[in-house]
A and B are shown apart, each in its own frame.
Chain A
Amino acid sequence: MSATDTQAGANSLRSGPDGRGRFGIFGGRFVAETLMPLLLELDGAYKAAQADPEFRRELDYYLKDYVGRPSPLWFARRMTEQLGGAKIYMKREELNHTGSHKLNNVMGQILLARRMGRTRIVAETGAGQHGVATATVCALFGMKCAIYMGATDVERQKPNVFRMRLLGAEVVPVTAGAGTLKDAMNEAMRDWVTNVHDTYFLVGTVAGPHPYPQMVRDFQSIIGVETKEQIMAAEGRLPDTIVAAIGGGSNAMGIFHPFLDDPEVRLIGVEAAGCGLDSGRTAASIERGKPGVLHGNRTYLLQDEDGQITEAHSISAGLDYPGVGPEHSWLSDIGRAEYVGATDEEALDAFQLCTRTEGIIPALESAHAIAYAAKIAPEMGRDKIIVINISGRGDKDIFTVAEHLGVKL
């Protein structure tokens, strides 16, 4: 039983996954036999850790004194005034150490890896936020670290690549495919299957084979738990709408999950529409994909009629993935959460809106959530409340943004 299971009632939407790691038809463990015993061991170790108060105590200590939690819930007064509708609050995950929500999950998993006696960590990264977070905890605990990153992403996220190397990680550029997150994920899985004896695969999002989607969600749920307390303290009620960006979907799952059983709270996941949902150059897996099996789980995937996975496109390296976490696929199918798209252009506009009105430079990933919130806020009454998850800070993206604005740095 996970902590969330014990809190959730029989008809709760928070009790998944089932014993097979499924959320409805989604999820599961589609991996080579070599990895199956490791997943079973991981599942057992995770359950044991959850049941151990010492694990929780240790995690809380690092979350508070190293990550810097709790993160604030900020009332975005100027953006609210400019948009002229619902009150906008921002959950400030960009203020965590390393600049994104990624460290919440990484801290939990590194403590688990240590309990399991693993000495080497492999991880995949897209924008590099997860890679930086992973390299950071490996430095903190003195563990070996290999980060797989698509060659295209290595190029467009240079500051993060340098950061990871400073932290002592080996960054391995992956040239297969389009050289983005999907290809990095394949290569990280190949490393894991080759080095099973000492290596822990530290997955950065709510995807992959069970128990990763559940485990990453549980570690990220701290975002939603804090949001609930903070909005109750600020407004005395729950928000009307929560908006979060979706690549694999870990920041969204983290803020959504504690609200799944509060039907009055509308949950909106914003996928990267890229050049437009129907442009053929998009990363909107739920809106334009079909259920299929990739990277260990069944979920919505961008694929052709033959089941070949197609390349995703987004200006944001962190959202440039043709799949999505299986729990999101399920939440979409049952209608509990809505999934929409924001284009590259809309994200760029929102990036500037947030920067100019709030003095907060958001990650391009988070800018997708801001873009959609900015679209719906004016249509909502001034008595309504939107919470946007600002999943990361945008320092890493200034080169990309400058290029699109025609500025040479």
Chain B
Amino acid sequence: MSRIARRFATLRQQGRGALIPYVEACDPDYDTSLAILRGMPGAGADLIEVGVPFSDPSADGPTIQKAALRGLRGGSSMKRVLEMVAAFRAGDDETPIILMGYTNPIEAYGPERFCVDAKAVGVDGLIVVDMPPEEADLLAGPAAAAGLDIIRLVAPTTPDDRLPVVFNGASGFVYYVSITGVTGTRTASTDELAHALPRLRRATDLPIAIGFGIRTPELAANAVRAADAAVVASALLNTLEGTLDPDGRATARTVPAVLEQLRGLADAVHAVSKTGSK
């Protein structure tokens, strides 16, 4: 059983939803992002998404765009991202790590070598934003061979008859992009989620995470009432950005501010009892 499957099984036994925070690699520098990553499980993270900076994040809003640019300026490369995960794994063998990014840095690294190396350092799953099922063959074979989960994105625009196409080859969990739009902008309403989730449940048995626009403890709690996990990215990155000095460097407040906000989100998520629900 993969770390991701194991973690969701444990959460289900405990009747809890999951909080999945996001940290952009090397934002604003390697040591700061590693310190945030290392602090996340203690602050209540159940799984963690590590963003792989890309120069052209066309599905992301301004907050993640800026984080990606800070990450690139902070020395990020695929090699460095993998080093960061390895450093994290040295002290934590339980918390699943999912790399989130775009196709081109993976293609440049070489898909097969990437999957082997990612698995070796302790990566558990991959979310590739611009790789729909139609293009998934680039990674499907190497990821399966390495034992990495491929987390598929599903959107409000995905029609019912396409759901089997999207979920074919999906593993780990499913990421529901809860709005039509870019990251860190609008938030889906409770009604929208109430309509969307049963539609997805009918098509998959995998746990479902909701992302895009979840910025407060209340919204995160709403998300895990409807689904199995809440992904929070832009809200944490905004906090991080707010702690940087005028030159964009980390300050003493950077790591504690992000982790403190994460703790508030996690407490709200973990206060939701999911006992009896699927």
Chain A contact residues, CB within 8 Å of chain B: 20, 28-38, 176-177, 182, 185-186, 189-190, 193-197, 290-296, 298, 301, 303, 305-310
| CB of B187 closer than 8 Å to a CB of A | no
Q: Give the chain A neighbours of B166 by CB distance below 8 A.
A: 33
Contact of A306 with B182 in the complex, beta carbons under 8 Å: no
Asked, given contacts A190-B182, A197-B180, A292-B107, whether A37 binds B72 with beta carbons under 8 Å apart, the answer is no
Contact of B185 with A194 in the complex, beta carbons under 8 Å: yes
> Quick one: which of A28, A36, A295, A307 has the most chain B CB within 10 A?
A307
Q: Which of B152-160, B246-254, B262-270 contacts A (4 or more CB under 8 A)?
A: B152-160
Asked, given contacts A177-B55, A196-B157, whether A33 binds B177 with beta carbons under 8 Å apart, the answer is yes
Contact of A305 with B103 in the complex, beta carbons under 8 Å: no
Give 13 A-B pairs besides A31-B132, A33-B155 with Cβ atoms closer than 8 angstroms: A28-B135, A33-B132, A33-B152, A36-B134, A36-B162, A37-B159, A190-B182, A193-B59, A292-B108, A296-B130, A306-B78, A307-B54, A307-B106
Contact of A32 with B177 in the complex, beta carbons under 8 Å: yes
| CB of B181 closer than 8 Å to a CB of A | yes
CB nearest neighbor in B for A28: B135
Contact of B131 with A30 in the complex, beta carbons under 8 Å: yes
Contact of B181 with A194 in the complex, beta carbons under 8 Å: yes
Interface SS of A by simple majority:
mixed
Contact of B154 among A29, A33, A310 (CB under 8 A): A33
CA distance in complex: A32, B179 (Å): 12
Please report the total number of B residues contacting A with Cβ < 8 Å.
43
CA distance in complex: A89, B177 (Å): 53
CA distance in complex: A142, B214 (Å): 37
Contact of A303 with B180 in the complex, beta carbons under 8 Å: no
> Quick one: which of B129, B132, B180 has the most chain A CB within 10 A?
B132
CB nearest neighbor in B for A304: B108
Contact of B55 among A38, A298, A309 (CB under 8 A): A309
| CB of B65 closer than 8 Å to a CB of A | yes
Contact of B130 with A32 in the complex, beta carbons under 8 Å: yes
Contact of B104 with A32 in the complex, beta carbons under 8 Å: no
CB nearest neighbor in A for B181: A194
Contact of B103 with A37 in the complex, beta carbons under 8 Å: no
Supply 12 A–B pairs (Cβ within 8 Å), ascending by A: A29-B134, A30-B132, A33-B132, A33-B154, A37-B158, A38-B157, A177-B56, A190-B59, A293-B104, A298-B107, A306-B77, A306-B105
Contact of B130 among A31, A37, A195, A309 (CB under 8 A): A31
Contact of B104 with A307 in the complex, beta carbons under 8 Å: yes
| CB of B61 closer than 8 Å to a CB of A | yes
Contact of A190 with B180 in the complex, beta carbons under 8 Å: no
Contact of A295 with B104 in the complex, beta carbons under 8 Å: no
CA distance in complex: A36, B78 (Å): 27
Q: Give the chain A neighbours of B104 by CB distance below 8 A.
A: 292-294, 301, 303, 307-309
